[in-house]
Amino acid sequence: MRILAIDVGTGTQDMMIYDTEKELENSIKLVLPSPHLYISQQIREIENDIYFEGEIMGGGKIKKSILEHMEKGYKVVMEPLCARTIRDDLNQVKSYGIEIAEDEKDYEGYTRIKMADINITKLAEFLLGYDLEFDFDKIAIAVQDHGYNENMGDRDFRFEKIREKISEPISPLEFGFTDNLPEYYTRMQAVGRTIEKEGIEEIPLLMDTKFASIAGMCFDEIAKSLNSFVVIDIGNGHTTAASIENGKIQGVFEHHTSSLTGESLERYIKRLASGEITNKEVYDDHGHGAHVLNPISEIEKVIVSGPKRELIEKTNLDWHHAAPGGDVMMTGTVGLIKTILGR
């Protein structure tokens, strides 16, 4: 079985092509800039009015680039769907001076930019350029999705859904969705539509980047030898940690990386393991929250990944940089692959 796994992060999009007849270490791997980075670059290079079409995607630097483009005197028009990349509330999008496209209006002469987290056509052309087959039995994609509820802020809603999912100890592999993807995960829904428009009939496995990484870290060689430990993904924007015992998540907390210090990170990890951490203390510290079902027996080791993972070195914890398949950049893609194989 051949699997294409793509993990779309803030800084990079990491890809792995895995063949079950070969060792994981022999997989083809790519680490490319995140889509929002090259779209932002496109915006900066255009000296014209811009018309955006396509899907909801990870915004990253796009909003900032658009506002700078309008400051130069250019007009920006966005179709309603992709405009939700900026804000879910289209009235807020309009408040920035962005026009929401109307079908009956003529936008001829505008430079068009297509928005999407995934560009299968571009990837296929790249692989075919190296005489590699673009033929997969399964496709798995991870993006970070806060979900959307018009009556609740992103930070609250995201963690409420994490809390609902971990109503009992579960394997990290259970965070993958196929045909059971809830409508409120608008970014993952957009990825699914993009794949369908590309003519791929296979329903992709979709997963949040943080839990794909957590799943992948559990397959690190050191982690596989442990029973009671903490895994933590220290990302550019968010830090997510889970306490693991008997192969199942016993508790989780999520914070904003910029708000953490070595001291506070160590305190949160210890309190997560002991079961003492509270949702209020993390939320009041401007994080997303915490949810614990059970304490774990001990912290045999902290398994860490993510672009800001050096923060763990400012703690006194016993830590190990995760490298499943021998690569620190591939925790998310390995998590996606293991989730597919686990099914």
- The answer, as to whether pTM is greater than 0.85, is yes
The angle at the Cα of 311, spanning 38 to 144, to the nearest 5 degrees, equals: 40
Alpha helices in the chain (DSSP H): 35-45, 62-71, 80-83, 90-95, 120-129, 154-165, 186-197, 209-217, 262-274, 279-284, 331-342
Residues 6+ apart with CB under 8 A from 259: 285, 286, 287
pLDDT in tens, 128-153: 888 777 888 999 999 999 888 888 88
- Mean residue pLDDT of the chain comes to 93
CA dihedral 50, 55, 61, 64 (to 10 degrees): 40
Q: Decide which of 133 and 6 is more confident.
A: 6
Which of 102-106, 132-136, 211-215, 222-226 has the least mean pLDDT? 102-106
Which of 52-61, 83-92, 146-155, 285-294 has the least mean pLDDT? 146-155
Count CB atoms within 10 A of the CB of residue 273.
25
Q: Check the CA dihedral 337-341-342-343 and report its sign.
A: positive
Residues 6+ apart with CB under 8 A from 131: none
Per cent of the chain over pLDDT 90 is 82
At residue 104, the pLDDT reads 62
pLDDT in tens, 295-339: 999 999 999 999 999 999 999 999 999 999 899 999 999 999 999
Give the residue-averaged pLDDT of 158-173: 94
